[in-house]
Homo-oligomer: A and B are copies of this chain.
Amino acid sequence: MSFIRPNIRHPQLAVNDLGYTRANYEGALSTLCAGCGHDSISAAILQSCFELSIEPHKVAKMSGIGCSSKTPAYFLGNSHGFNSVHGRMPSVATGANLANRDLVYIGVSGDGDTASIGMGQFAHVVRRNLNMVYIVMNNGCYGLTKGQDSATADRGSASKKGIPNPYSSIDLCETAIQLGAGFVARSFSGDKEQLIPLIKAAVSHRGFALIDVVSPCVTFNNTANSTKSYDHVREHMNATGTFDFVPLKEEITTEYEPGQTEEITLHDGSAVRLHKATESLDFSSRRSAMNEIEKHKEKGEVLTGLLYLNPQTPDTHELLGTTTTPLNQLDKDKLCPGSKTLDAINDSFR
């Protein structure tokens, strides 16, 4: 059991714009293995929401089944959570979002949950561009069922069992880019500096935002021959650049070296400022993003950071033309056409 709560509690704890302390964003004690990458991601989500001053009750946490999918119990205890069934979180999140477009939906899933049993639902929630943050805690294995290879395990990577995975792996970022996601990033549970601004930007992005976070499973897949181990990722990680999240209210002063720093304004007025490490990546081009990911893969590297961003994609509600009031707040007056109308309808059946 590991603890993601901070150990020290000052009387003068930092408060955010809402007057909440970090404690207001905490959840139950984690029951994951000590050192599990997932706990770090939970902490990063917590920290991001705290810093973004999101009202916890305006967040809905959605998940499937797995060690990763348990984590929503370990952060944002004042938010509603829904631990659904294995691989089907995307559809539950879709329904929830249809019912109330005003909440922030944070989906947490595992690589088994998303890329195996959930592959179909994942593909489709992406192509509908549901307004949600979808975080994959990607350890290349099935933690909760004791370490079987998942579909994101790289070919040749070997977990504790020692047998190299023979199959081609699924790259969820590429899949998401291909299927039209507007925000696609990859990160590493061990890189808080990168992860927190990414989560903040993902929350601010309107539409589907994927963050595929490599998150080592210390118990089953942190081996010397695993490409999802702490050591491997640390050594082979290559960031697209560093990344600042600039909240709306902070004045945006544009002062960056041309060519290497780019600023993209998000739907809600906040912005991301990217200090690109490589000029060959064009964040606004799907082809460029896929190309860059593949190029790094060919070199045995894991490209992390923001990979693709298009802040202008219409989300599911815009595509459907749903009204701005959350559907779950429409009352009978708005919804029920009444008996007069029914009489007219009856007449049409005569």
Residues of A at the B interface (CB closer than 8 Å) are: 116-121, 123-124, 126-129, 151, 166-171, 174-175, 178-180, 286-287, 290-291, 294-295, 314, 319-320
Contact = CB atoms under 8 A, between A and B. Distances in A.
B116 A119 contact: no
A90 to B, nearest CB: 12
- How many copies of the chain does the oligomer comprise? 2
A116 to B, nearest CB: 7
A179 B319 CA distance: 29
Contacts of A124: 116, 119, 151
A169 B127 contact: yes
A164 B280 CA distance: 35
Contact of A294 (B117, B180, B286): B286
A178 B175 contact: yes
A126 B295 CA distance: 21
9 contacts: A120-B120, A124-B151, A128-B167, A128-B168, A129-B168, A167-B180, A170-B179, A175-B175, A178-B178
A149 B118 CA distance: 22
Contacts of A174: 178
A116 B128 CA distance: 12
B319 A166 contact: yes
Contacts of A290: 287, 290
Contacts of A129: 167-168
- Most chain B C-beta atoms within 10 Å of own C-beta, residue among A120, A124, A174: A120
| A-B pairs with lowest CB-CB distance, top 6 | A168-B180, A120-B120, A166-B319, A119-B120, A127-B168, A119-B123
Nearest to A166: B319
Nearest to A318: B166
A120 B123 CA distance: 9
Given A124-B151, A129-B168, 17 more contacts: A116-B120, A117-B120, A118-B120, A120-B123, A123-B123, A123-B170, A127-B167, A127-B168, A127-B170, A166-B319, A167-B180, A167-B319, A170-B179, A174-B178, A175-B178, A287-B290, A287-B294
Nearest to A87: B120
Contacts of A179: 168, 170
Contacts of A123: 119-120, 123, 151, 170
A126 B319 CA distance: 31
- Most chain B C-beta atoms within 10 Å of own C-beta, residue among A116, A167, A174: A167
A169 B117 CA distance: 21
Nearest to A287: B294
